[in-house]
Amino acid sequence: MIALGSDHGGFDLKERVKAYLDREGIPYQDYGCHSKESCDYPVFGKAAAEAVASGVCEKGIVICTTGIGISIAANKVRGIRCALCSDPLSAEMTRRHNDANMLAMGAGMVGPNLAERIVEVFLHTDFEGGRHARRVGLITEMEEA
């Protein structure tokens, strides 16, 4: 299950991502927002991140106009490693090396076709482990300090 969240600036792209997930048969839960009415991205970034951190959802995707604010909000939730990606290579590498469990995108930065490819790569790339697991472990230790 994939947790989704956006603000009004990311709403249209989130709807495009939902259509992609539907076509691929990938289940998701939409944690809002549910319209283009002005709203606050931290609310929806936090809701999606909490679903991932609690284990209700395996991964998450959050979207605002730049992807910056909503990624910062998501990363405030313990256990979340949310990476802002604007290209498929970044999405691949953050999964392979950082075991990112959330993807952030900026609706004003990437078009819908590119966003679908970024999501595809993010969802289908595995964590390499090995030396990268040690580094992710160090990040986890930082949260516990």
Q: Do 9 and 108 meet the contact criterion of CB atoms below 8 Å apart?
A: yes
For the question of residue 34 being annotated catalytic, the response is no
Confidence of residue 117 (pLDDT cuts 50, 70, 90): very high
Please say if the pLDDT value at position 131 is more than 80: yes
Name the 3-class secondary structure at 28. strand
Q: Do 6 and 62 meet the contact criterion of CB atoms below 8 Å apart?
A: yes
Q: What percent of the chain has pLDDT over 70?
A: 100
For the chain, list the domains and their CATH numbers: 2-144 (3.40.1400.10)
pLDDT at 145: 76
Confidence of residue 144 (pLDDT cuts 50, 70, 90): confident
The token pair at 145 is 């300090």
Cα(26)–Cα(37) distance, rounded to whole angstroms?
Answer: 27
Taking the chain, what is the end-to-end CA distance rounded to the nearest angstrom? Answer: 30
**Tell me: the pLDDT tens digits for 27-44?**
999 999 999 999 999 999
Helices 112-124 and 11-24: crossing angle, nearest 10°? 50
pLDDT at 135: 94
Cα(144)–Cα(6) distance, rounded to whole angstroms?
Answer: 28
For the question of residue 124 being annotated catalytic, the response is no
Q: Do 97 and 125 meet the contact criterion of CB atoms below 8 Å apart?
A: no
* Annotated active-site residue in 33, 64, 82, 85: 64
Total-model pTM: 0.97
Please say if the pLDDT value at position 119 is more than 90: yes
